[in-house]
Amino acid sequence: MTPLLEFLLRQGDNTLVLGHRMSEWCGIAPALEEDIALTNTALDLIGQTQLWLAYAAEVEDAGRSANDLAFLRDPYDFRNLLMLEAPNADFGRTLMRQFLFDAFQVPWLTALSGSSDPRIAEIAAKSVKEALYHLDRSSGTVIALGDGTEESQSRMQAALDYLWPYTGEMFADDATDAAMADTGIAPMPSAMQSAWQVKTEEVLAKACLTRPDSSFAQSGGRTGRRHTEHLGHMLATMQTLQRSYPGAVW
């Protein structure tokens, strides 16, 4: 697998997996407004997935489409961050995960908008407009719930404690990242950590939440070496139609 293909799969798999997780709230969110907002976020993410995986399929040049890459790969072929495949659990964890990812995506996509690869720059420029809205909404919700009732504050702190060990993977540079940086396609993910820390510290302070005092970082998702058991269960649901009726089209 070429570094460019690996890079594109990482982008598309992140938005695909998180988009599916967000879609799981459709029809069951705690309020109608939230139901619509979460569903719209999911649609934005799946739309971004289509762009990333369509380009990945072209680069791979193996006769596969974006749909094939989404619905006909096994768990260890995926290159998403481990944090994104974690179960939704409750509304608090869902929004905390969204915020932690959004705080990374905004500076990341902003940087990719200047990529030496015109196609990547175009996708990023389109996607960052949606990511800015997602960040505004997720950070506002985290603040409202963290600085809310005793129950909501407790749930948000529990969500932060659970998700924090997964955040370090976003900034773990490897050979693929180095290859992208060398060609001017993308910066090193670690270059985004400072901006991410500033944003997360600002929001967590307003939300009256305590950042966990741990530097331990789960890893393996971006390289496909290790995924949680949750990804397999999620893909079994997400891929069942295409796996049951190969080649089916609408």
Q: 54-108 pLDDT, tens per residue?
A: 999 999 999 999 999 999 999 999 999 999 999 999 999 999 999 999 999 999 9
For the chain, the domains span 3-244
Q: 164-211 pLDDT, tens per residue?
A: 999 999 999 999 999 999 999 999 999 999 999 999 999 999 999 999
Quickly tell me which residue has 């603040």 as its tokens: 143
Q: Which of 117, 20, 12 lies closest to 66 in space, CA to CA?
A: 12
Q: 3-244 adopts what CATH topology?
A: Ferritin (1.20.1260)
Asked whether the predicted pLDDT for residue 33 surpasses 90, the reply is no
Three-state DSSP class for 87? coil
pLDDT of amino acid 72: 95
Alpha-carbon dihedral of residues 7, 50, 230, 108, nearest 10 degrees?
50
What is the model's pTM? Answer: 0.95
Asked whether the predicted pLDDT for residue 250 surpasses 80, the reply is no
* Cβ-contact 84, 104 below 8 angstroms: no
Dihedral sign (CA 22, 47, 180, 226):
positive
Residues 27 and 21: their CA atoms lie apart, in Å, by 13
